[in-house]
Amino acid sequence: MIEARSISKFISVVNENGLAGGLTAVLNVSISIPDGKIVSIIGPSGCGKSTFLEILAGLQAPTEGEIRIDGKLVLEPLPSTRKEMEDYKRRYRFISPLANGVFTDHPKHDIAMIFQDYAVFPWMTAINNIVFALRLRVAGIKRRERPTHKEMLEKASYYLAKVGLSGSEYKYPSQLSGGMRQRLALARALSVEPKIILMDEPFAAVDALSREKLQDDLLRLWAETKENATPIIIILITHDVQEAVYLSDEVVVFSPSPGSIRNRIPVDIERPRARTDPAIIEIQERIFAMLQYDINQENEYSI
């Protein structure tokens, strides 16, 4: 269960005259997401979606509010003194894989994040991309209790096979197609067996057909975790309304900047779903109308 309570993020910026200013990237977002759900976030460009996702992942601290995962605090607003910072580090639970290296005494393994542009390391083979992620996750574990290199290779191969990349283990990302790279990113996210996968426009760079295939793969892999003790939560940012409705249990529509939740649209349609199901299309049209309204409003203001 993810709970975001009154999350706001203010960012200081320096304007062209060299004066300090500020902007509100996220304003007062509260949402609870139960285990095993897929939730999409959709909204105009620059409205704060990525910022919100990074706050969920613990990659950025919010300015106000708090995130809890299974009741445990992720990150609170940063403290202002060094003394408070020491307490802060001890208190919160840092879940970002990037920060695990900084806070090795608090290794956490709950979240995997797939970024749009930097999904995989181009200088590592497919299999090493995954082994690298696995290594990061065991950094805080005693050496004797860590899995061996061979075990990690086996696990990496297992997850590559799951996403249909058997045979590409020793290829570099440049030798893979865009869709295959996204599959690799997905395999890497799954390999650390996270409770939550956060995806920032994961399929933006692939053609429509591959995209549909990737969506179905994602649904299949997610459905497999339904048998686990804690089925995974997937949160995904997309600009594609059809993708959002087809995949999700709920679509969260963000308002234009500063990002706040404008609407939450449940998609109570059983899976497997048909893309042409009139009930799905009806929901898509409602969301389109909402986004269109926001764009028209913005244009009126700027005239």
Q: 237 exposed, middle or buried (CB, 10 Å; 0-12, 13-18, 19+)?
A: buried
We find the least distance from the C-beta atom of residue 278 to ligand ATP, in angstroms, to be 29
Closer of 176 and 204 to Mg ion (Cβ): 204
Where do we find the tokens 């840092």?
Answer: 94
Instruction: Find out whether 275 and 242 touch, Cβ atoms under 8 Å.
Output: yes
**CB of 216: closest distance to ligand ATP in angstroms?**
24
Based on CB atoms, which residue is closest to ligand ATP, 34 or 46? 46
Cα distance between residue 37 and residue 195, in whole Å: 11
Task: Work out what residue 51 binds among Mg ion, ligand ATP, none; the CB cut-off runs from 5 to 8 Å by kind.
Answer: ligand ATP
Give the binding site for ligand ATP (CB under 6 A): 11, 13, 23, 25, 45-51, 257
Binder of residue 133, out of Mg ion, ligand ATP, none (CB less than 5 to 8 A by kind): none
Tell me the closest approach of the beta carbon of residue 153 to ligand ATP, in angstroms.
35
Q: What gap in Å lies between CA 281 and CA 279, rounded to an integer?
A: 5
* Binding track, positions 20-49, relative to Mg ion; x by CB under 5 A: ------------------------------
Write the burial class of residue 56 (CB in 10 Å: 0-12 exposed, 13-18 middle, 19+ buried): buried
CA distance 41 to 142: 38
How far apart are CB 64 and ligand ATP at their closest, in Å? 16
Selection from Mg ion, ligand ATP, none that 37 binds (CB < 5 to 8 A by kind) is none
> Which SS3 state, helix, strand or coil, does residue 106 take?
coil
Integer Rg of the chain from CA: 20
* Binding flag, residue 50, Mg ion (CB under 5 A): yes
Q: Which residues bind Mg ion (CB under 5 A)?
A: 50
